[in-house]
Amino acid sequence: MNRILLLMLLIFIIEGTIMPWLIPAGYGDRIVPHFILVSVIFAALYTDRHRALLLGVSFGFLQDIVYFGHLLGVHSFVMGLLGYFIGLLLDRRRATLMMAVTVVGFACILYDSVIFFIYSVFRITSETYAFALLNHILPSLFLQLVFAIAIYVPARRMLEAYSRADSDKDDE
């Protein structure tokens, strides 16, 4: 578990420090990387829902504190909830590459949509959902999907090995 936490912390740092430099200048305010969300979804797919809930809540709260100071707990709540429900819905199913990419795509759209609607309720944003969908959510979705495809094999191997070692430990 320590390796998973260290890798997710590294992904969190890369998401906030290196990615703004790599995103083209015209898209810097439109594309927002959510690599931690992709990692939480992989944890939900290949370990268990409780671990995904814990990772989602903790790293979501870290994102709330570091990046988004408007409302504390929004990203934590949504990321933890998505991790738990994806783990609950796809429990004990073998997730292929296509299934994992599809789940990541739907989860990213749902994540950004729920956060948009929460921000709309508290009047933090005044734009319409159609504008947010076309200018923020969909361009960011492509970045998340590319990241999910890029880390699919190493993440799956590491998380399944951890899950097997954890179940062997419980059997003893």
Per-residue pLDDT in tens (0 to 9) along the chain, 172 residues: 788 889 999 999 998 899 989 988 888 888 989 999 999 999 999 888 899 999 999 999 999 899 877 788 899 999 999 999 999 998 877 788 999 999 999 999 999 999 999 999 998 888 999 999 999 999 999 999 999 999 999 988 888 887 777 666 665 5
Asked, for residue 22, whether it belongs to a domain, the answer is no
- Is residue 70, in this structure, part of any structural domain at all? yes
What domain range includes position 117?
A: 2-15+33-164
Whether 74 is covered by a domain: the verdict is yes
Q: Using only the alpha carbons of the chain, give its radius of gyration.
A: 16
Overall number of domains in the chain: 1
Token code pair at residue 88? 């609950």
Confirm whether 9 is domain-assigned: yes
* Residue 50 in domain: yes
Please tell me the pTM assigned to this model: 0.89
144: CB partners within 8 A, 6+ apart: 33, 34, 35, 37, 38, 104, 105, 108
- What's the pLDDT tens digit per position in 139-161? 999 999 999 999 999 988 888 88
